[in-house]
Structures are given as structure tokens and as C-alpha cells.
A and B are shown apart, each in its own frame.
Chain A
Amino acid sequence: MAQVLKKLTTQVLKPNNVDTIVGCTGLRASSTWWNNVQMGPPDVILGITEAYKKDTHPKKVNLGVGAYRDDEGKPFVLPSVRKAEEILHSRGLNHEYAPISGEATYTDAVAKLAFGEDSPVIKNKSNCTVQTLSGTGALRLGLEFITKHYAKAKEIWLPTPTWGNHPQICNTLNLPHKKYRYFDPKTNGFDLQGALEDISKIPEGSIILLHACAHNPTGVDPKPSDWEQLSKVIKERKLFPFFDMAYQGFATGDVDNDAFAVRLFVKEGHQVMLAQSFAKNMGLYGERAGALTFLCGDEATAAKVMSQVKIMVRVMYSNPPLYGARLVQEILTNAELKKQWLGDVKQMADRIITMRSQLRAGIEGAGNPHPWQHITDQIGMFCFTGLKPEQVERLTKEFHVYLTKDGRISVAGISSQNVNYIAEAIHKVTS
């Protein structure tokens, strides 16, 4: 673990953080237990937000953190969530311990949302679905389960690139992780051939992580026909698909569309694992509402898996926090609220899509020579602009536009107020 952290330190270290580290190692030794604790590497995205906060420039823009913002740049509490909160409060529920796996009404509802109301895998009770601490909790629990109970190749293949925390969770679990091609920097699109080639060589039985929709950080999703090809080769290699679905509804604005890949794989007979998050699509970020599903083939196996998952939950946090889950449950099981929610999530997705259009139009309109179609081809909260690190640095230093070094922007941070400014800035640093 110490070795891995040292490596991460070198990778992510930014000049302005070196002082802190040098400062610490320069300390005199004292008779405490903690002397040998190394300074952990700083979190890249949090670092950007901190720098943004300190900046006093009037036109500064934060395109770093992946949290939705409305057209005024403000956090958005979904009307359906507000309504659900009112209902919840009027019920005067108590705070007694939840079951270890979460309330059954919650897990049933979220499984149906993901797999479809009439999904056979739910009907035959072959799914083991547990409430988790949002998406991260689901990934951690699922991967830890694999390290303890999966008999085959305990290695996981991640798309290139992927969410920064994916490999970190794997490292924490000492689960070897490797990469398959995904993003094509030449086209700023999906590298189907590269992916198929790499996947066809993955050792049988390995786990393959797939982003169900709205890939983070690139925003590049495979087309339906691409998914069909992926499904085929994954089946041929007998790989174990683990879907990370953090943006259902948020990508196209339609929850069923966004679950296409997951449902296709289920139809094709894959027994997938699925991590779900309600952080973005219900704006419940800090309440940590999520779920993990194993498709186990039959009810009996699902029950056995459940018994083991519960033991793992018990030794991590005993049972899950209910506040967020109760809101999700309320929304999904109340027809009127659910309808309202579907509208809210479409509204968010539509605003993102509109901002993508306007950003692209702004850059192209300035006469910029480079192709910018990928801005509208990509989907979801994030966009891999294709900007190089030097260009990113200029964007931040000269224009006070904050984004990650890899050129990723959070489209949610764009508004009608700042889209022209951002377009102009991108144009300037790329011409």
C-alpha cells in the first residue's frame, strides 16, 4: 500500500503541494506512534476546487467537480426530491436500524429501475441487491466480494481512461487491475476496434468494468451496435461484466435508454454485477444512496451470496444510512413523484445537452480550425475536450477556467452566463 501511494504521489503531485511534503519530512523525530506516516497524495479534483475558491477573478469558472449546477451555477435540489422530503417528514418515521442489506422496498425499487419493471432476473429472484454507500460503496463491496468469494481470475480490466477512484479501490483491495483501450484521442470518440482487440485477449474469467452510460471522464459511450459487439466478445472470453451506472437518466434524459447496455447484457445471458448511484440523477450526493446487484442465476444462490455480503457490510459499517434511501424509495414507488422525477432528470440532461451545443457553436463560430464535433457527440456530465496539459494550464492561468489536466470539463459547470466566455477561452488556447 505504501508503495502504491508513493507512486500516486509522483503522478499527481502538483508544484504547490511539494512544500507541505518537504515540510513534514523535515520534522524532528519524536516519540509518537505516527512518525513514519507518509503524507498521502492530494486529491486532484479537490485541489482544483480549492484553487478555484481562492481565485478572486470575476470571470472565474469551475469546470472541475462533477456535480450538477443549474443555469445560475447553483446546486440544484430536484423538485421531486423536495416533494419527497416533505412527504417523508410528514410520516414521522423513526430512526431504527435498517436491515444490513437495506430496506426491501428500496432494493426492489432500484433493481427494477435498473433492469426494467418486468425483468426476468428480478421476477425469478435471482438478483442479490443491497443498499450501499452510493456508487463508491457498491464498487468497494462488489470488488471486495470478488476478492473473497470469486473462484476464477481475480483481476479486473478497466477502460482507458476511467474514473480515478476505480483503480484506487482496486489497490486498496490488492486486486490487480489492467486496462483495455476505450477512448480514441485521435477522434475523441470510442475506439471500438481497440476495445474489441484488447478484450479478446483478456484471460478467461477476468472481471471487466464497464460504464453503463455517460462514461466518466470522457463522455464517450459506445453505440447500441457497439454494445452488441462488446457483449459478444465478452461472452466468448467468459468475462465477468461489472457495470458502473452512476448516471442513469442523466445521459440521454431517459432512464430506460440509459440502461440499454445493462439490459442488453442481461438479455444476452450475462450474469452481471451492477453498481448504482443516486448521487447525480437524484441530486442526493451527500446522502450516499446507492446499490449493488449480483445476478446469481437462481434464488438459492442469490440467498447464499446475500448472506456473505451481509457479513462484509457488518464489518464495515453494520447497516446503511437511510435518509437518502428513503427519498429514493419514496420517489420510485410513488407514481406521481416518479413522473415528476423523470421530468426533473430530463430537465438536467437537456440543459447539459444544450450547453454542449452552445459551447461547440461558440468555438466553431470563432473560426477555430480544429474539429469540435466530439463536444456534442459525447454525453453526460463530462466532456473530454482533447485539450493538452499546456493548453489546460493556459486556460486556468490566463482565463481562470478550472478543469483537470486531462482536459476533462464538467459540462454542468457551464451556463448561459459563461458559455461564451469559455468558448472564447478554449478558442484562444487552441489557435
Chain B
Amino acid sequence: MASRFQGVEQGPPIEVFLLNRLFTEDTFQNKVNLGVGAYRDENGKPWVLPIVRKMEKQLAADETLLHEYLPVLGLEQFCNASVAMLLGEDSPAIAAGKAFGVQVLSGTGGLRVGAEFLNKHLKYDTFYYSTPTWENHHLVFVNSGFTKPRSYRYWDPKTRGIDFDGFIEDLKSAPENAVILLHACAHNPTGIDPTREQWMKIADVMEERKLFPFFDSAYQGFASGDLDGDAWAVRYFVSRGFELVCAQSYAKNFGLYNERVGNLAVVLNESAHVARIKSQMTWIVRGMYSNPPAHGAHVVAAVLTNKQLFDEWRDHIKLMSTRVMQMREALRSELVKLGTPGNWDHIVKQIGLFSYTGLNQRQCEYLIQEYHIYLLKSGRINICGLNPGNVQYVAKAINDAVTKFPDDHDNRAKL
């Protein structure tokens, strides 16, 4: 039957979801999912944080809690607690009324609302993203009205570390008011973060070139296991006097993936601007979804504002990040044991959920087809997909892949 939309083209599939679907449909017994970025326990199962279960039970029993609309900018308690968690409770910016939060739809929502605001109201049209970066960054900004996407060098396949000189060079040539997308910690997909000295240098250049920092903080607490440590870069920039925004996600560190809980933190130099900015963000939100979903925000707010619960949550994060670090060690150790060609130190040097293994596309395809190990063709693996039950299998597969398809390009590490 004829339709107005007959001419609509099939949109390209999004790699990570396609991969997930293929994994789900695969009937191979020893299949391994190293694709999607979600935490898995040692049995490869999703893990609902005990504190979340506890709070959900409590909230369900609370007769005073209804399903009323949240304010457009979200649950104030939630926003304040999020900003405090990011900047530190005794941040001078908070005390001076120069920092505030807007509840948003997880990290993506924070990026979108932030980018929309910067484009529509500050008229920024140039943004820089790292090479590589999370696959959705580019499109979010472009759809928010940014017309000039640019990249800055980041991952160096030769060293499997940061191409810092390239990074700085690219920042130095960025035009004034360019928005620089920075990963606060646990860079996705590489897992390599700048050192503190490097962050200081980045700040120097950004200050000199008058560049605007937009932090993406999807893993606070998850990277090192320490909330404050993982927020160091953001706090440093604030202490340097930068005005900035930061999209905070609670998908991973609270395991609240599908409740879409996030906060967009905004730090200004003058508290007097806060009201105006809030009013404009209100209109952005109103035109998109009116007000944010309540459930997840109530859970997070309840935990963050209660010392005992907060400490309990900190333990969960420590547990998750520790398991990740253990699996990094385990994978590297297995690879070394097998005498796998190549240097695999980067696996333990990297931090957070992901590792840029350095495997090339051919090797990745082989892993998927031959071993039913699912990973992105960029070589990114989700370390959480590893557990004592499968790490040897995965190491064996990697060993096989790099042996069978030795990388003859210069950009693969000489071992």
C-alpha cells in the first residue's frame, strides 16, 4: 500500500546494537559478549546494585511518593547532590552559587541538552571530539545544530597510548569558542586517560585559546573505584576558573541503565547568570520531553543524600571497579602465558569498562566468526564481559587471531 514514507531510506544499523543482537541470536555454547558497555558480574550476568534494590523497595512502600511531574529541570535534591558529587561538597563554586544541575536523560540527554543550549544561546558551532570517541558524540552535537565537527588526535596505535603532542597541536589550532568534548575519566573506547600533568597542559592551552570544556562523565567512581579521584580533571578545570558543562550519567555507576538518570552540571563565573540560563534550558527541555522521568532520580537522590547509603554505594562501586581491574590483570596474564605475540601491557594500563585491544578489523572478524566472541570492529572490548569462566578462552582466541593474521601494518605494535 502506498505511503508517504515510501521513499524513506533504511537507516544504517548502529554497530553496538547489531552486535548485541547477533550475540543474542547466536546459539554457540561458549559465546562471549564483549560488545555493549554494561557491567556484568563474575557469572556474566547483569548486576542490580543491592542499594538500588533496597531503595526501590523503600520507595515502593512509601505512600507519600506518587508519580507527579518533576519540575522541568528535574528533582532539585538529585541535581544538587549530583553537582556536589562531581565538584566536591565543599567546592567554592557551589558555595558561591555558581554551579547548578539540570536533571537529564542519562549521559546522552546531558550531551544533547548541553549542546543545544551552547548552540542556540551561545551560538557555538564548532566542536572537537577525540579520535576515537564514543560513537554517538558526533551525531548528538550535529543534531544539536553544530555545523563544524572537528577531531583532535588522541589514540596512538603505535604506543597504544595518547598522542599527546598531536592532541595539544590540534587544540592550539582550534578557533576561539570551540567546544572541546573531554572524557572526564575512563575514556570510551580506549580506556586511556591523560595524566594529571597532561590535564594541566590541556587546561593551559584551552585557557590560552579560549576554548570551552564540555566534559562527558559516564564513569565517575567506576574508573579507579574512587569518586573523588575520578572527578579530578573536572575539579581541576573548575579550580582554574573555567566555565564548563559536564554531562553526568548514572547508567553504569548505579547500574540504572534503563531508567535514564543523568545530570547536566553547569559551572559559571557569575551566579547572576544562573536564573537566565535555567530559564532557557527549561524551554529546551519543554520542547523535547517536558520534564524528566522520576523513578531513577528518586533512587539516586535517596542514596546520595544519606551518608550510610552513600557509603554502601561506594562499596558497590569499589566492588565493580575491582572486578574490572582483576579481569584486566587476568587477561593480560593469560595472554602472556600463551606467549601471545605483542605487548599487552596496555590492557592493565587502561582504565574503566573498555579496552582498546589494538586488534585490527580482520582479527576482530575472526574472533566473532571463529570463536563467537563479540567485540566492536575497532578492537574495543568491554572488560566486564570477561570472567574467570571465559578469560582463558578469550585469551586463546586472541592468541590465535594475532598469530593467524599478524598485523603487517606499521601501526600495530612491534612486540
**A38 at the binding interface (Cβ < 8 Å):** yes
Are the C-beta atoms of B296 and A323 separated by less than 8 Å? yes
Are the C-beta atoms of A308 and B11 separated by less than 8 Å? yes
Least distance between B140 CB and chain A CB atoms (Å): 5
Are the C-beta atoms of B295 and A324 separated by less than 8 Å? yes
**B368 at the binding interface (Cβ < 8 Å):** no
| Residue interface mask B27-66, A partner, CB < 8 A = 1 | 0000000001010000000111000110011001000001
Are the C-beta atoms of B108 and A95 separated by less than 8 Å? no
How far apart sit A271 and B5, CA to CA, in the bound complex (Å)? Answer: 10
Are the C-beta atoms of B256 and A149 separated by less than 8 Å? no
Q: Which of A23-31, A247-255, A402-410 contacts B (4 or more CB under 8 A)?
A: A23-31
**A362 at the binding interface (Cβ < 8 Å):** no
Are the C-beta atoms of A39 and B279 separated by less than 8 Å? yes
| Residue interface mask A11-44, B partner, CB < 8 A = 1 | 0000000001000100100111111111111110
Are the C-beta atoms of A168 and B293 separated by less than 8 Å? no
How far apart sit A318 and B16, CA to CA, in the bound complex (Å)? Answer: 12
Kindly count the residue-residue contacts between A and B in the assembled complex, taking CB atoms under 8 Å apart: 241
**Minimal Cβ-Cβ distance residue in A for B138:** A315
Pick from A67, A92, A314 the residue with the most CB of B within 10 Å: A314
How far apart sit A98 and B259, CA to CA, in the bound complex (Å)? Answer: 9
| Residue interface mask A311-339, B partner, CB < 8 A = 1 | 11011111111111000000000000000
Q: Which of A211-219, A299-307, A417-425 contacts B (4 or more CB under 8 A)?
A: A299-307
Are the C-beta atoms of A172 and B287 separated by less than 8 Å? yes
Which residues on A sit within 8 Å (CB–CB) of B121? 36-38
**B282 at the binding interface (Cβ < 8 Å):** yes
Report which of A33, A41, A286, A305 forms a contact with B68, defined as CB distance below 8 A.
Answer: A286
**Minimal Cβ-Cβ distance residue in B for A81:** B67
Which residues on B sit within 8 Å (CB–CB) of A324? 67, 293, 295
Q: Which of B163-171, B269-277, B354-362, B376-384 contacts A (4 or more CB under 8 A)?
A: B269-277
Interface of chain B, main secondary structure? loop
Least distance between A126 CB and chain B CB atoms (Å): 7
Contact status of A315 and B280, CB under 8 A, knowing A137-B288, A294-B5: no
| Residue interface mask B254-285, A partner, CB < 8 A = 1 | 01111110000000111011011101101110
How far apart sit A287 and B105, CA to CA, in the bound complex (Å)? Answer: 12
**B290 at the binding interface (Cβ < 8 Å):** yes
Least distance between B240 CB and chain A CB atoms (Å): 14
Are the C-beta atoms of B5 and A37 separated by less than 8 Å? no
How far apart sit A298 and B4, CA to CA, in the bound complex (Å)? Answer: 11
Are the C-beta atoms of B258 and A97 separated by less than 8 Å? yes
Report which of A31, A100, A285 forms a contact with B269, defined as CB distance below 8 A.
Answer: A31
Which residues on A sit within 8 Å (CB–CB) of B7? 151
Are the C-beta atoms of A97 and B38 separated by less than 8 Å? yes
**B191 at the binding interface (Cβ < 8 Å):** no
Are the C-beta atoms of B258 and A310 separated by less than 8 Å? no
Least distance between A328 CB and chain B CB atoms (Å): 12
Least distance between B46 CB and chain A CB atoms (Å): 4
How far apart sit A32 and B38, CA to CA, in the bound complex (Å)? Answer: 38
Report which of B109, B255, B286 forms a contact with A168, defined as CB distance below 8 A.
Answer: B286
Least distance between B251 CB and chain A CB atoms (Å): 8
Question: What's the interface size class on B, roughly?
Answer: 35 or more
**A161 at the binding interface (Cβ < 8 Å):** no
Which residues on A sit within 8 Å (CB–CB) of B143? 312, 315-316
**B96 at the binding interface (Cβ < 8 Å):** no
Which residues on B sit within 8 Å (CB–CB) of A31? 269
Are the C-beta atoms of B272 and A317 separated by less than 8 Å? no
**B228 at the binding interface (Cβ < 8 Å):** no
**A169 at the binding interface (Cβ < 8 Å):** yes
Contact status of A134 and B289, CB under 8 A, knowing A89-B57, A149-B5: yes
**B114 at the binding interface (Cβ < 8 Å):** no
Are the C-beta atoms of B260 and A317 separated by less than 8 Å? yes
Are the C-beta atoms of B294 and A287 separated by less than 8 Å? yes
Q: Which 10 A-B pairs have the closest CB atoms?
A: A297-B3, A40-B279, A133-B289, A286-B294, A317-B105, A172-B287, A307-B11, A297-B1, A323-B295, A321-B293
Seen from chain A, the residues whose Cβ lies within 8 Å of a Cβ on chain B are 1, 5, 20, 24, 27, 30-43, 46, 67, 75, 77, 81, 85-86, 89, 92, 94-100, 126, 133-134, 136-137, 140, 149-152, 165, 168-169, 171-172, 240, 271, 279, 283-288, 294, 296-298, 301, 303-305, 307-308, 310-312, 314-324
Seen from chain B, the residues whose Cβ lies within 8 Å of a Cβ on chain A are 1-14, 17, 36, 38, 46-48, 52-53, 56-57, 60, 66-70, 72, 105-106, 108-109, 112, 120-122, 136, 139-140, 143, 177, 212, 243, 251, 255-260, 268-270, 272-273, 275-277, 279-280, 282-284, 286-296
